[in-house]
A and B are shown apart, each in its own frame.
Chain A
Amino acid sequence: AQKVTQAQTEISVVEKEDVTLDCVYETRDTTYYLFWYKQPPSGELVFLIRRNSFDEQNEISGRYSWNFQKSTSSFNFTITASQVVDSAVYFCALRSRIQGAQKLVFGQGTRLTINP
């Protein structure tokens, strides 16, 4: 079965702290894609990153970084020097051929609050 687990329901930190959002996934497929989306208070999900299962290289984009580890089926997201504008709900998602290339399976989401 396809499953994505974001065990952290809510995280609250003070501005400028580093914060890591965890994502653990389950799939039987060897070819799959992992995603992170951000949902600010406005409601629209914003695409952040896509990784395919063959590329375990970690990625950094400004203050954002992602750590993909197939050995632990994890795809964690770290925000360095957090800012108030980072406050949002963050979703991790999985798409694989077993589930059907059309479908995204989402985690429950992590609500991140950055306090000034």
Chain B
Amino acid sequence: DVKVTQSSRYLVKRTGEKVFLECVQDMDHENMFWYRQDPGLGLRLIYFSYDVKMKEKGDIPEGYSVSREKKERFSLILESASTNQTSMYLCASRGRGRAYEQYFGPGTRLTVT
């Protein structure tokens, strides 16, 4: 079974802090994604990566950056956390090819106070 893990289920940070959210997948997938989920808005894509050291902006990249130094790991970075970044963050991975579905991690609920 595909396994996507995220470093924390719950996280509380202060405004202005630098925050790292880590995601690891064990299926040798090329593609990895970071979404945020907010009520009434569904899931919105922040960034994705289709290979090591490669990244592309999604629909809402402002205030975020990412890092993919190894194939299995994709990190989301909030350079200076703000209260409007309080949200559920979901990581996903997918194998190469259009037909494959994305596999999701359990999510990290981040609260910025």
Please report A residues at the B interface, Cβ cutoff 8 Å. Answer: 4, 6, 9, 33, 35, 37, 42-47, 50, 52, 91, 93, 95, 97, 101-104, 106-109
Q: B56 an interface residue at 8 Å Cβ cutoff?
A: yes
Q: Please, which residue of chain A has its CB at the minimum distance from the CB of B104?
A: A45
Q: Which of B33, B42, B48, B105 contacts A44 (CB 8 A)?
A: B105
Of all chain A residues, the one with the shortest Cβ separation from B45 is A103
B88 touches A95 (CB 8 A): no
Using Cβ atoms and an 8 Å threshold, which residues of chain B touch A9? 40
B27 on the interface (CB 8 Å rule)?
no
Type the 1/0 row for B91-113, where 1 means its CB is closer than 8 Å to any CB of A.
Answer: 01000001101111111010000
Interface SS of B by simple majority: strand
* A93, closest chain B residue (CB): B43
B66 within 8 A of partner (CB): no
Q: Least Cβ distance of A48 to chain B in Å?
A: 9
Q: Are A42 and B106 interface neighbours, CB within 8 A?
A: yes
Tally of contact residues, B, Cβ under 8 A: 27
Complex Cα gap A45–B42 (Å): 12
Given contacts A102-B50, A103-B48, contact A47 B42 (CB under 8 A): no
Min C-beta distance of B79 to chain A, whole Å: 24
Q: Which residue of A lies closest to B35 (CB)?
A: A106
Query: Looking at the complex, which one of B41, B45, B106, B107 makes contact with A104 (CB distance below 8 Å)?
Result: B45
* Residue of B58, B88, B102 ringed by the most chain A CB atoms within 10 A: B102
Q: Are A108 and B101 in contact (CB under 8 A)?
A: no
**Distance in Å: Cβ of A60 to nearest Cβ of chain B:** 19
CB–CB B98/A95 < 8 A: yes
